[in-house]
Amino acid sequence: MTDRFATRAGEVELGFDPADHTDAGVHFIGEIHTPWSVGDCPRNVRAARESGKGAEIVLKPDFVPGLEGLEVGQAVILIYWMYAARRDLIRQSPKHVEETRGTFALRSPVRPNPLAMSAVRITGIDLETGRVEIDAIDCFDGTPLVDIKPWVETIDVPPVSC
């Protein structure tokens, strides 16, 4: 469907680009500034942590008061928009597994709505300027930030069995 990315064997395209069909709107609350760009971005936040390189969130001024109550050392969940990702694959053939899988069985940024989320730790916070330093993240510099949510163990860790 797109000429920007090659389709691997076994991958299935949707037949339309979800970016052309809008059901809702999203307002970005800020940007994530990282040391990463195309070609050197880690595959996941674990790999980003292993690099030892942190990152910084910069909120738009209207959203800065929403940081009140967050603290250094606290874990938060960041939801961000992987703007450079392909959106038209519904089955993918990732390099790290042998079989093709459905998009919803993968953490790949390639998905109809390229939302990503990572649990990160706040390493610094400036409540006046809306700058929040974090331990690590796996996205390109300038990635739009959709939301910040506190990570709560009693809510965010699923039960061992149902």
pLDDT tens, position by position, 102-134 = 999 998 899 999 999 999 999 999 999 999 999
In whole angstroms, how far apart are CA 126 and each of 41, 112, 141?
26, 34, 20
Question: What's the pLDDT score for residue 4?
Answer: 58
What is the spatial distance between Cα 94 and Cα 101, in angstroms, rounded to a whole number?
A: 8
Which domains occur in the chain, in start order? Answer: 27-86+112-152 (2.40.30.70)
6: Cα separation from own chain's centroid: 22
Extract the residue ranges of the chain whose pLDDT is less than 70.
1-4, 162
Question: What's the pLDDT score for residue 2?
Answer: 47
Question: What's the pLDDT score for residue 151?
Answer: 97
